[in-house]
Amino acid sequence: MVTNEYLQFSEEVKQAQKDGKPIVALESTIISHGMPYPQNVETAKRVEAIIRENGAVPATMAIMDGKIKVGLNDEELEFLAKEQNVVKVSRRDFPSVLSLKQTGATTVAATMICAKLAGIDVFVTGGIGGVHRGAELTMDISADLQELAKTEVAVVCAGAKSILDIGLTLEYLETYGVPVIGYNTDEFPAFYTRKSGFGVDVNGQTPGAIAEMLQTKWELGLSGGAVIGNPVPQEFDMEEMGIKEIIESALEEAKVQGISGKETTPFLLNRVKELSEGKTLETNIALVENNALVGAQIAVSLIKLRK
């Protein structure tokens, strides 16, 4: 049982830890800043249900009342989904948001930190942050990548959105020694599309094979996490639906409006949704649900390996 005065476990997660059950971490920025209400809370609940149906226990992370919540109840999920003043929390924001008792939604980086503190090593999300296009001038590189370099949590995602420079994102991960594993694919997925034009380091063909790679990495004492890229189901792939042009327009608008810092990713996500007349939302929901299924299976496989 992990204890830390800042952590507050839900009853369900507490029980799962006692019973040695597999637990899957979930982020909350996707709820507060990544999707509109009420689809955000519906998706959050559905994702939790999928994880339970597949033999694991979900632990959605957030910061509330000066505590890191590990596992949220329905009211807390609803609050995060509706409330306007939720801080987007990355690594640098823990000290202020906790001590000022603000409400915080955790990004990939922050959720990895929470998961590590809580002893959870598999985390399911939609897409990771990465190196932004034009980063050679702006230096806008998501803290998610540094976190992957140093924190022992596997992140199951549908790749990285092409609002980012996917090639540079993969270079960065390579430099920091972060394994990029495709789930049944040789190509790194690009969130709304199954293909990005860039390869993965290795094709992990089953959840069990991926669990073995993770176990091996950590048994060797190699610090840091891993990226597991799980392509969006074929029927939701937006390749043919002009997603490329939509992303280009959103990027141009961000440039003209001078959007920078932590506002950049939420701005782009929202504009892409508006420009696609909501079509991207359907794909976003489908891919997160698909990641929940795979993440639960990997968490179950990891527990079996350890027994």
Q: Contact between 140 and Mn ion (CB under 5 A)?
A: yes
Question: Among 12, 144, 165, 187, which residue interacts with ligand PSU (rule: CB under 6 A)?
Answer: 144
Pairwise CA distance, residues 213 & 204, whole Å: 9
**Given the rule CB under 5 A, which of 20-28, 138-146, 152-160, 163-171 is the region that contacts Mn ion?**
138-146
Under the binding rule (CB under 6 A), the answer on residue 63 touching ligand PSU is no
The answer to the question of residue 172 lying near ligand PSU (CB under 6 A) is no
Q: Single out the residue of 13, 25, 27, 169 in contact with ligand PSU (rule: CB under 6 A).
A: 27
Alpha-carbon gap, residue 201 to 181, rounded angstroms:
6
> Which CB, 122 or 143, lies closer to Mn ion?
143
Between residue 243 and residue 262, which ones bind ligand PSU under the rule CB under 6 A? 262
Distance CA 269, CA 267 (A): 6
Q: What is the DSSP string of 132-168?
A: BTTHHHH--B-HHHHHHHHS--EEEESB--TTB-HHH
**Beta carbon nearer to ligand PSU, 16 or 229:** 229
Catalytic residue among 161, 262, 273, 279: 161
Count CB-CB contacts under 10 A for residue 261: 8
Supply φ then ψ for residue 69, to 5 degrees. Answer: -85, 130
Q: Which helix (H) or strand (E) holds 61?
A: strand 57-64
Nearer to ligand PSU, 16 or 170 (CB): 170
- Cis peptide bond upstream of 38, omega within 30: yes
What is the DSSP pairing of strand 57-64 with strand 104-106?
Answer: antiparallel
Residues in the chain: 307
CB of 169 to ligand PSU, least distance (A): 11
Assess 48 for contact with Mn ion (CB under 5 A): no
* Contact assessment for residue 295 and residue 122, using Cβ atoms and an 8 Å cutoff: yes
CA distance 192 to 166: 13
Residue 116 carries which DSSP code?
A: H
Please confirm, yes or no, whether 161 is among the known catalytic residues.
yes
The answer to whether 143 contacts ligand PSU (rule: CB under 6 A) is yes
Q: Which is nearer to ligand PSU, 262 or 271 (CB)?
A: 262
Residue 147 interacts with Mn ion (CB under 5 A)? no
Q: Which is closer to Mn ion, CB of 121 or CB of 140?
A: 140
207 binds, among Mn ion, ligand PSU, none (CB under 5 to 8 A by kind): none
Contact stretch for ligand PSU (CB under 6 A) within 2-10, 23-31, 37-45, 234-242: 23-31
44 φ, ψ (degrees, to nearest 5):
-60, -40
SS3 23: strand
For the CA atoms of 163, 250, 125, 95, the dihedral, rounded to the nearest 10 degrees, stands at 90
Nearest approach in angstroms of CB 55 to ligand PSU is 26
Whether 252 is a known active-site residue: answer no
The residue range among 47-55, 108-116, 135-143, 155-163 that interacts with Mn ion, by the rule CB under 5 A, is: 135-143
**For Mn ion, the closer CB: 48 or 93:** 93
CB 125 within 8 A of CB 51: no
Are the beta carbons of 111 and 26 closer than 8 angstroms? Answer: yes
Instruction: Point out the catalytic residue in the list 12, 27, 147, 187.
Output: 27
> What amino acid positions are annotated as catalytic residues?
27, 161
Residue ranges in contact with Mn ion by CB under 5 A: 140
Residue ranges in contact with ligand PSU by CB under 6 A: 27, 29-30, 34, 90, 107-108, 126-127, 129, 142-144, 161, 191, 262, 265, 269
